[in-house]
A and B are shown apart, each in its own frame.
Chain A
Amino acid sequence: MTAAMNLPVTSDPSVSLAPQAATFRMRPGLQLMPLDSSATTPQFVARDSNGKSYVLSESLKDILVMLDGERDLEQVARDVSRREGAIVSEARIREVIERYLVAHGLVEETPRGGPPTDVTVLPDDATRAGRSKFDFIFRIPLIKPAAAVWLADRFTWLYRPLIALLAVAGIVFSHVAFYGEWFRQRDVLSFGATEYVIAYGLVLCTAIFHEIGHAAACRTFKCEHGAIGFLLYIIFPAFYVNLSNAWRLSGRQRAIIDVGGVYFQLITTLPLFLVYLLTGNAYCAAVIYSVDVMVLISLNPFLKFDGYWLLVDLTGLVNLQRRGLRVGKEVVLWSLGVIKDIPTFKDVKGAWRKFLLAFYSLVTIAFFSTFLLLLLVLAPNKVWEIITGARNLTASSGAASFLMSLGRLLLNVFFLLFVYRLLKSTLFKVFKKRTWRKAT
């Protein structure tokens, strides 16, 4: 949540006031810390006890801190007015609290005179921020935090500059040699069910090493990290490592953590390439192909994969996707003369960042529109394939044939699930009404 608050200087009669007895306080366990970003005004991260993080503007952070369960809204409005140098109404304060803080569970309503909150704003160097990924479902931790830390510490040497330079050179050379067929001709791969399972197992190992790469980068900057686990992103099965604390690092350090996964996963292709050179093993070739495809997908900045976070951390444009969609709409309305300027640009520092945000936004909209159209065209055919696939499943003879039919069926089911989840997170949102509790 990025909440840039423009406080009005006059009271808003359309919003009625809540009973005087009610007041708000910051949720226990909530942590606040400054964020290294490109915003024109300072930004802060609020991390709740579940590890979810929210980006707040300075004004909103100030209001949040004032909500100690003791002060009523009138007092808060008075204090904010004094700080802003303009009159801010109590009704506006309530609206902001309900819209941004209550809706995201950062504050709770308490009877007046309740126990004061014990939360304080931590100093810069001692804060711990959260970095959560909201589109993730079905999280299962696989390696406990202590074990993950122990494992990650074993690989931090791969981030020494000289080692990293050699590794990158090795990765580039092995890829050019592999695809250029310098030492060995690449054959067309033809796998059966068993071979697929073995290759898939090897690819999974590289995916876990990808997560260790993020964790090791985190450890290189003396930052704590959490468990390594399994999750579904939209519908994509993936591994994750909890990097909630990474928000406290600088943008450049966070960028190294982002790219660390891809770096480690590509390192796994070095021994695979050597084995392939010596033996021509088809599994090695298959894993190299798979790793490269995974890396390309991972670097895609349109979905919230590593490429997206890399772009966010390198540019400091927090909430890039959400702001991108907003800016896209604003640029179109501005160009058609519906609105006079582009409000989101006011929060962004530097012309090139504005340019990047707007370009990213319009290209993302075009990308998703075309992608969605394509998926919607393919979807009816996939439904039919599921029906015939289910019929084949019952008619299949032998374990291998059954597994292949099952695999195909599951792929089609995943595809439809993907279409649904993508629609849910894009088109459906357009038609969804803003739901926020009105003050009574």
Chain B
Amino acid sequence: MKLGTGKRQYLLLALLMTFVLYSIYEALTFFHELGHGVAAVSLGGYFPFVQVDADGGRSIFFFPLGSPSWKEALVLLSGPVFNFLAAVFALVVVAVGVKSRSWRLFWALLGGVSSLMVINVTGVFPPWWRNYKETGQALEMLGFPFAFVVAVKCVWLVLGALLVISFFRLYFREVSADFPTGSYRQRLALVSSVLIAPGVVIMGALSVVMLNSGFGEGVINPRRHWPHLILLLLTFALMPFVITSARSDKPISFALPRKQLLAWACVAIAIAVSQAIVFGNDRRDPRGLFLMKSPPEVNIEACNVSVTLGSDDKVHVRLLMRPFSQGHEFLWERANGREPSEWKYYEQFARTNLRVLLGTDDFSIVGRHADRSAKFFNGTWGIGARVIEAEARMSSLVTGDSNSGGRVLKLVDFWRTRGVGYIDFTEMNVDDGLEIKSVRVDPSSANPPAMRSGKQLQWTNTSLATTFATAYVTFD
């Protein structure tokens, strides 16, 4: 398709670039997520689910209970590393020499988008934001001091920026053969067609999808993402200076084969449609690629505790556990219908944490079962849990209270004391013949329990700040 001179050709270029950039971005996002998964599996973890939606992508991975945190950090870093390697690969392909001009343009663009992703979507920028996205989380997880985290992010930022400049310089060098690039204005027009207009269209379209799907915000939220916004504006404004080899001041000679435009349009539409069909855009109940028949139950992410003081001098403890966090409720819905393939992680968790909860080694595990209809609190009330039941002698747990003359049972939140979370729901019951007199919690700022008729106490926890670390329950 050969068009006349003027704005129409810039529009045509912008249309083509919209299709190409969207296709490349979605493909890179998918492989970025797979990068996380491959790293998880190669480090002995599990990778049951991957999703690409309007907000980017999501891969869910798990490591068995007790795995060191550096493994998780490496998996988080493997996404940005994938983008960096993809950019390096593209740079090498272009440097070695691709004969076809179309392929040279393709690889330069792929490298450029991948480098832009390193900067903009992996948390490298802004470097001073703590715990931001995967890069920030990973570096914090590795226990590095904040100054070092900022320094590393700055180094990666500079490397990413150099790659972006390199790729778009190479790209515009090719494109400038067909467009006038003599003045800044002409170059800006070219940059607008290649980057700005397609970028705005793609971000706008994705934002509309996000807002309609209940994400609460679009791709860029100006209140929150102002550094990104400034960076993007600067990139657009400074990009014309990257076009160094102005080859032609002649009128536009841009000719785009109709087939090429149609092919890219088909690819982009196919990606958009398959994204909507395969993955959808609902994060709470996502459709996506489930890569395992049953989600792996190798760690415990949520826990409810029920302690019953029996009149038979025994303390009965029920640990209700789920292997998935609140955000992965959809995985639990798949797992709840089945028996877990192995109980060893649940038992290991129970043995380790009952010691802390009760403050004694003198307990025994007496039963385990998958209770599909048990009420379970994990931010909201739901159904089903893996249950381990244990028993201990009351005399080995309680101490006398000299003030009231009653007996005191000490309960310790094993997650809260380690600072890694909190037990979502704790319940204490006493059998007939016993009565709860009073409760003291430490720290004192923690929420007091709901007491029901002197026979039952309940803590429903939704925040670390208001959860008790230790509770002293006096009863008689």
Contact = CB atoms under 8 A, between A and B. Distances in A.
A321 B290 CA distance: 43
B144 A335 contact: no
A417 to B, nearest CB: 23
Contact of A334 (B95, B144, B162): B95
Contact of B167 (A331, A334, A335, A351): A335
Contacts of B84: 366
Contacts of A345: 95-96
With a 10 A CB-CB cut-off, give which of B94, B95, B144, B170 has the most chain A CB atoms. Answer: B95
Interface in B149-195: 151-152, 155, 162, 165-167, 169-170, 173
B97 A351 contact: yes
B88 A363 contact: yes
A362 B152 contact: no
Interface in A300-345: 331-332, 334-337, 342, 345
A182 interface: no
Nearest 9 CB-CB pairs, A to B? A335-B166, A358-B92, A354-B96, A362-B88, A359-B92, A355-B96, A331-B95, A337-B244, A358-B95
Interface of A: 331-332, 334-337, 342, 345, 351, 354-355, 358-359, 362-363, 366, 369, 373, 377
Given A335-B91, A337-B245, A358 B148 contact: no
21 contacts: A331-B95, A332-B166, A335-B91, A335-B95, A335-B166, A336-B162, A336-B169, A337-B173, A337-B244, A345-B95, A355-B92, A355-B93, A358-B92, A358-B95, A359-B89, A363-B85, A373-B151, A373-B152, A373-B155, A377-B144, A377-B148
- Interface majority SS (helix, strand, loop, mixed), chain B: helix
B144 A369 contact: no
B152 A342 contact: no
A144 to B, nearest CB: 44
A342 B96 CA distance: 9
With a 10 A CB-CB cut-off, give which of A335, A337, A373 has the most chain B CB atoms. Answer: A335
Given A351-B97, A362-B92, A373-B152, 6 more contacts: A332-B162, A335-B95, A335-B166, A335-B169, A342-B95, A358-B91
A335 B148 contact: no
Contacts of A351: 96-97
Given A336-B162, A354-B96, A373-B155, A331 B244 contact: no
B452 to A, nearest CB: 46
Contact of A331 (B92, B165, B173): B92
Nearest to B95: A331
A351 B244 CA distance: 27
B155 A369 contact: yes
A351 B99 CA distance: 11
Given A351-B96, A351-B97, A377-B144, A359 B88 contact: yes
Contacts of B151: 373
Nearest to A333: B166
B91 A362 contact: yes
B162 to A, nearest CB: 7
A56 B98 CA distance: 30
Contacts of A342: 95
Contacts of A366: 84, 88
Interface in B75-103: 84-85, 88-89, 91-97
Contact of B166 (A336, A359, A369, A377): A336
Contacts of B88: 359, 362-363, 366
A359 B85 CA distance: 9
Contacts of A377: 144, 148
B68 to A, nearest CB: 14
Interface in B35-93: 84-85, 88-89, 91-93
A358 B165 CA distance: 19
Contacts of B96: 345, 351, 354-355, 358
Contacts of B166: 332, 335-336
A79 B170 CA distance: 43
Contacts of A373: 151-152, 155
Contacts of A354: 96-97
A218 to B, nearest CB: 35
With a 10 A CB-CB cut-off, give which of B84, B148, B152, B166 has the most chain A CB atoms. Answer: B166
A29 to B, nearest CB: 41
A345 B88 CA distance: 17
A240 B32 CA distance: 42
A202 B79 CA distance: 40
A377 B151 CA distance: 11
Contacts of B244: 337
A62 to B, nearest CB: 30
B163 to A, nearest CB: 8
A274 B292 CA distance: 35
B155 A336 contact: no
B265 to A, nearest CB: 30
A97 B93 CA distance: 36
Contacts of A331: 91-92, 95
Contacts of B85: 363
A194 B245 CA distance: 69
A336 B92 contact: no
A254 to B, nearest CB: 25
A179 to B, nearest CB: 11
A101 B169 CA distance: 40
A432 to B, nearest CB: 22
A42 B299 CA distance: 60
B375 to A, nearest CB: 38
A358 B98 CA distance: 14
A274 B94 CA distance: 51
A325 to B, nearest CB: 15
Nearest to A353: B96
Nearest to A350: B96
A336 B165 CA distance: 7
B273 to A, nearest CB: 35
A199 B152 CA distance: 39
Contacts of B91: 331, 335, 358, 362
A342 B165 CA distance: 18
B119 to A, nearest CB: 16
B124 to A, nearest CB: 14
Nearest to A331: B95
Contacts of A358: 91-92, 95-96
Contacts of B169: 335-337
Nearest to B84: A366
A359 to B, nearest CB: 5
A337 to B, nearest CB: 5
A45 B89 CA distance: 32
Nearest to A345: B96
A357 to B, nearest CB: 9
Nearest to B99: A351
A332 B169 CA distance: 12
A334 B97 CA distance: 12
A337 B166 CA distance: 8
B9 to A, nearest CB: 26
Contacts of A336: 162, 165-166, 169
Contact of B170 (A335, A355, A359, A362): A335
Nearest to B148: A377
A349 to B, nearest CB: 13
With a 10 A CB-CB cut-off, give which of B84, B91, B92, B173 has the most chain A CB atoms. Answer: B92
Nearest to B145: A377
B451 to A, nearest CB: 45
Nearest to B81: A366
A358 B88 CA distance: 9
A18 to B, nearest CB: 40
Interface string B388-406: 0000000000000000000
A351 B91 CA distance: 14
Contacts of B89: 359
Contacts of B97: 351, 354
